[in-house]
A and B are shown apart, each in its own frame.
Chain A
Amino acid sequence: MLGLNCKQVVARSSALIDGELPFWEALQLRLHMAVCKGCTAFVHQMRVTRSLTLAAGQATPDDDAALAAVLARLASEGRDAG
């Protein structure tokens, strides 16, 4: 199917969504995706995965106890952060 098969598109999908593919290679993938619903869906899934990964990293845990422990240790070792 237009040069690349689906397996080859999947192997390059991360590089595609990260904008790291050379122009002609990215064009080959886009031409393949124009006629392949499976690869279009897969690349969409990889974009969603990237967004969810970022969102999961931004969830703020309750770090107050850990922060207090570091500050206490610094104070006891003679280097106060405040």
Chain B
Amino acid sequence: MPGIGSDREQVRALIAGDRAAFAQLFRQHNAAMVRVATGITGSRAVAEEVTQDAWVAVLKHIAGFEERSSLAGWIFTILVNRARSRARVEGRSVSFDAGGEDNSLAAAFDGRGHWKDTPALWEEITPDRIVAGRRMLDVVTAAIEALPPGQRAVMVLRGQQGLEAEEVCAILGINEGNMRVMLHRARLAVRAAIDRLER
């Protein structure tokens, strides 16, 4: 994630109307924005509209950016607020709660909380194969897209965009404990998807 220094340079360039700076910022965040907004609105088409609205708002109000958060944090705050408003208008209720207890691995343990079957080591997954194997990344992306809205947003903002924990909490209006629970559950779901591919 760019630091405040490079944020300042980017903001200055955007205020000056630097098209290349905007294109760079757009490519850095647009796909992630669509991913988060799709989770909130429940529709890729609506999410693309909302994301476009958010970009227009970002450029219209860029002079008012006060560095109280990172530039990315500010952009995602605008996006999430717009996506939630749109979801509300369409009668969709979106909750970012962690929900109840996670039982996805309940069957993996015996009564004393020890593994029934030892997990595989995933020796086949090497950095080379990750880079070459588009399919593996597609599986990961599909697993993230299947997550509930809160987990998906936390996974994208924290796990992919590298936003600070406090910033993710502020954007989604959740506490840090909830955020950690959602990140963990999201990772468990993605891990399970990779594990299915490996077997």
A binds B: yes
User: Which chain A residues have a beta carbon within 8 Å of chain B's beta carbons?
Assistant: 1, 5-8, 10-11, 13-15, 20, 36-39, 41-42, 44-46, 48-61, 63, 66-67, 69-71, 73-74, 77, 79-82
- 12 of the cross-chain contacts (CB-CB < 8 Å) are A5-B113, A20-B180, A44-B121, A45-B120, A50-B159, A51-B130, A53-B159, A55-B130, A58-B160, A61-B31, A81-B14, A82-B18
CB pair B56–A53 under 8 Å, yes or no, is no
CB pair A53–B105 under 8 Å, yes or no, is no
CB pair A53–B130 under 8 Å, yes or no, is no
CB pair A66–B120 under 8 Å, yes or no, is no
CB pair A14–B26 under 8 Å, yes or no, is no
Question: Given A1-B114, A48-B194, A67-B26, 19 other A-B contacts at CB below 8 A?
Answer: A6-B113, A6-B114, A7-B105, A8-B113, A14-B184, A15-B184, A46-B191, A48-B125, A52-B136, A53-B140, A53-B187, A55-B140, A57-B156, A60-B27, A66-B30, A67-B23, A71-B22, A77-B56, A81-B18
Interface membership of B183, Cβ < 8 A: yes
Instruction: Bin the interface of chain B by size.
Output: 35 or more
Complex Cα–Cα for A37 and B114 (A) = 11
CB pair B191–A63 under 8 Å, yes or no, is no
Q: State the Cβ distance, A69 to closest chain B Cβ, in Å.
A: 6
Complex Cα–Cα for A38 and B144 (A) = 25
Interface membership of B76, Cβ < 8 A: no
Contact of B119 among A45, A54, A80 (CB under 8 A): A45
Complex Cα–Cα for A51 and B162 (A) = 12
Q: State the Cβ distance, A4 to closest chain B Cβ, in Å.
A: 9
Complex Cα–Cα for A14 and B19 (A) = 39
Q: When A45-B119, A71-B19, A81-B59 are in contact, do A63 and B180 touch as well, CB less than 8 Å?
A: no
Residues in chain A near residue B122, CB distance under 8 A: 41, 44-45, 48
